[in-house]
Amino acid sequence: MKIMFMPDALATRVAELAQTIEADYREKDLLLIGILKGAVIFLADLIRHLSLPVEVDFMAVASYGAATKSSGVVRILKDLEVPLAGRHVLVVEDIVDTGLTLRYLLDLLWAREPASVRTCVLLDKRERRLVPVPVDYCGFVIPDVFVVGYGLDYAEKYRQLPYVAVLDGEEG
């Protein structure tokens, strides 16, 4: 596997994102929503840089390769535990590809009448986008390659790698 982002590059960027988020949400009561399972490591690193009084909740949605993927209809495997009405919500996602997952999630979250919803995404495969989605905080824009590590999987494997790498056979 070819390494795309070494652990120190990830750590530096995550700290920068946290700094921006902290400045934007000062005086606000922030609820971070981690999208399982891919965002777990990113979220864990991100929140340790935040000195705001944040809350954390999780949602799990049907993963990459699900039959519903191309339709943009995402199956909710685990829903939130907290109501969103009036809350400032930040969705934390590992990667945006076609945008279908995030688009669906955002529509669903907005229907619960939060005060605001923004998105924080570690990796953005911008050139693959099929539907427009707002990415308010972006770690890195990457090309159209399949990446694993730092929470991202291939068939549930490789999530534990401390770096982001291009999966073998996925490049050039």
Is 36 or 52 the residue whose CB approaches ligand IMP more closely? 36
From 124, 67, 57, select the one nearest 95 (Cα to Cα): 124
Residue 116: CB minimum distance to ligand IMP, A: 22
Which residues within the stretch 93-152 sit at the binding site for ligand IMP (CB under 6 A)? 93-102, 146-148, 152
Q: Is 38 in the site for ligand IMP (CB under 6 A)?
A: yes
Q: List the structure tokens of 85.
A: 């009405």
Which candidate in 45, 94, 97, 124 is catalytic?
97
Q: What's the rounded Cα separation, in Å, for the pair 151 and 39? A: 6
CB of 21 to ligand IMP, least distance (A): 20
Active site residue 29: no
Q: Is the dihedral of CA 162, 168, 171, 172 positive or negative?
A: positive
Cα distance between residue 2 and residue 165, in whole Å: 5
User: Residues with catalytic annotation?
Assistant: 97
Residues that bind ligand IMP (CB under 6 A): 38, 63-64, 93-102, 146-148, 152
